[in-house]
Structure 1
């Protein structure tokens, strides 16, 4: 029996690609290990730069604003006192005229004829007075010798009185005729700007004695000028309370100052004072009609224009002010961005007051040492760090 042959194990051959796969695996592992490094080791972006400023502290006074309309202090409608035909117009439409300047001329010949007739009647009346005086003197002499009776003397005395009365009537008629001649020259009753002429030469006008006198033109005084405005009831009550507390004088007995801004202007251009408050509130609007007188030396304001009236509305008080551009809106509230000591940003709700010389009054929400972002607000993020730089102290411009 033959012996069994020993079993031969097969020889395993290494394939060629295996070393290459190992290199790829090591490379991938290295890349994955690099991705596992923490993000803090990457370069962080620099903090955004902003400009900050501390609030300005100073004494301010609140001003309330109202919408008003200008009206002339004096206005007159020019009408003739006598009727007749217009012979000439002596002014330029829209020009400045002075009191006494000739405006219209009306044909005076009919009134001159009446004056001559009245002059003749006056001369006749004076002659009758002289005659009555001589007759009375003669009667007084004759009554002493009983040549005439006392009754005759009384009659002559009565005739003299009647002659004096007729003389006075003639004198009045002559004065009236001369006045009518004077009224044919229609003069400006006040200094101001005249409107256009409404009657041309050759037209017949009716005088004031007829009750339907013809309107010739109108004149308005321009310097000074009134501005009327309506004050709401709440503001009136506030002013009354300040007056009772001795913090603000009443406009009824004190000419409180006002500042007026015209349409298209950004700051007040005219100054004035309150000179009238009505004696009751309007029941339909709940407002009090008020009036200020404003200087208009340059004649730039015309009656009928609108203007914004600023009236002193409080006693002087200490306030913090910042540039108005630093105030942002967050839904229904106003906020400012404050840089804290660690240079992180905080949104601070504030209560705003009025503008004062270009700066906004902050009633609540800020302290004098706070650093408020005034430039670069769009780069600031709440809770993030910033690189603040101090701005020049804001002073504002007169508004």
Structure 2
């Protein structure tokens, strides 16, 4: 190691001053060299995309629940002991499919008794008709009194009435026997059997199972008061249909809103407690994905399609409560523009104010822009495209 010998203190302060001056000069030269190096750094590579202008439809977001169009609580129409459960719990059933069988023996016996009563009534009616015909001939020959004739004619009418009553009793008994076979009144999915074989089922009281329809389905959701008033104003101005507005629905595990339908009902009054109005959409459900009771994310069309400016969300920066983007300015410099953003549409963000359709927005590499007016090296892409491969590789190298 080289040692520097300093002159004795007696030499005096002028030499010390000279050494200090040389050190300061070297330090200044080093700083100047560093500054020159920084100034020589190339501008950062960024991707810029022209603002996208296209027709978009405004959608408002709500939450709701899937509900069956038809729901039936199946109860027996006659009392008796359950003899058989004739379906598999949870299976799809068609209208008229047999689900439960109630002991039929008592009802079969009642039908047989009613049929016998019908035969007796018909026999008596035939006898009364024969006697009335004979009385008709006798009254013409003045062989019987008028009173006897009227009695036989009344017996004929009574016999016919007894036949009709017996026929009604047979129909009732036959209907009761038919009701011992409990069938599904709708097509859909049957629930679990709440009563098994051997249990007593009371007519119109015992719940056997439930059946819900699956195609189509309803989705119920509620709109707030301000949204409801805005929709009415748009409808009056012709910017929105008054009925059958389009809806899109997505389930909790689905991306986006793949199920399409229309509004078929809006309640006739607002809920004073919550300040909301209930609406209902109807959607086709051929594959049965929309199960009644599931949570649903609902998008309701707000207005007809209109021209809008769109940018990628990656380009948007936040400065406290303000949103802004960098656009490509003169001499490839980054120029800041504050923007007013709207809703998300197909992965892009609607810009309500702050940009025009001729602006080119910095999308990828915006984190490399440290201040407005900073020079950049732009690569043009389409709005919504991923970053160019060279830019991705450069960012990975920096990390």
**How does the TM-score come out when normalised to structure 1?**
0.88
Please state whether the residue corresponding to 2:55 is helix, strand or coil.
strand
Q: What is residue 4 of structure 1 aligned with on the other side?
A: none
Q: What is residue 287 of structure 1 aligned with on the other side?
A: 276
- Is 1:240 the equivalent of 2:203? no
Please state whether the residue corresponding to 1:61 is helix, strand or coil.
strand
- Is 1:39 the equivalent of 2:28? no
Which one of the candidate residues 170, 195, 201 is aligned to 2:197? 201
Structure 2 gap ranges (5+):
1-6, 387-399
Deviation digits for residues 326-375 of structure 1, max 9, x if unmatched?
Answer: 11222222222233224443432211111111110100111222232211
Shift of 1:391: 3.7
Shift of 1:43: 1.5
Please state whether the residue corresponding to 1:42 is helix, strand or coil.
helix
- Is 1:394 the equivalent of 2:383? yes
Deviation digits for residues 219-276 of structure 1, max 9, x if unmatched?
Answer: 000110001111222122222222222222112xxx2211111113221110101111
Deviation digits for residues 127-175 of structure 1, max 9, x if unmatched?
Answer: 1001100111111111112110111111111111111111111111111
Q: What is residue 84 of structure 1 aligned with on the other side?
A: 80
Q: Structure 2: how far apart are the matches of 1:35 and 1:152? A: 149
Please state whether the residue corresponding to 1:314 is helix, strand or coil.
strand
- Is 1:347 the equivalent of 2:336? yes
Q: Which moved more, 1:225-234 or 1:125-134?
A: 225-234
Q: Which moved more, 1:113-122 or 1:275-284?
A: 275-284
Q: Which moved more, 1:339-348 or 1:321-330?
A: 339-348
- Is this contact kept in 2: 1:58–1:318, CA < 8 A? yes
Q: Structure 1: how far apart are the matches of 2:260 and 2:316? A: 30
Q: Structure 2: how far apart are the matches of 1:130 and 1:216? A: 46
- Is this contact kept in 1: 2:135–2:149, CA < 8 A? yes
- Is 1:274 the equivalent of 2:267? no
Q: Structure 1's 270 and 328: CA in aligned 2 closer, same or farther, altered over 3 A?
A: same
Which one of the candidate residues 101, 112, 117 is aligned to 1:121? 117
Q: Structure 1's 215 and 107: CA in aligned 2 closer, same or farther, altered over 3 A?
A: same
Structure 1 gap ranges (5+):
1-15
- Is this contact kept in 2: 1:345–1:381, CA < 8 A? no
CA RMSD of aligned residues (A): 2.3
Which one of the candidate residues 103, 127, 140 is aligned to 1:107? 103
Q: Which has the larger radius of gyration?
A: 1
Q: Structure 1: how far apart are the matches of 2:242 and 2:363? A: 39
User: Number of matched residues?
Assistant: 375
Q: Which moved more, 1:48-57 or 1:33-42?
A: 33-42
Which one of the candidate residues 70, 74, 77 is aligned to 2:66? 70
Which one of the candidate residues 317, 320, 325 is aligned to 1:336? 325
- Is 1:61 the equivalent of 2:57? yes
Deviation digits for residues 169-196 of structure 1, max 9, x if unmatched?
Answer: 1111111111111111111111100000
Q: What is residue 298 of structure 2 aligned with on the other side?
A: 309
Q: Structure 1's 29 and 280: CA in aligned 2 closer, same or farther, altered over 3 A?
A: closer
Q: Which moved more, 1:260-269 or 1:109-118?
A: 260-269
Which one of the candidate residues 169, 184, 195 is aligned to 1:188? 184
- Is 1:383 the equivalent of 2:372? yes
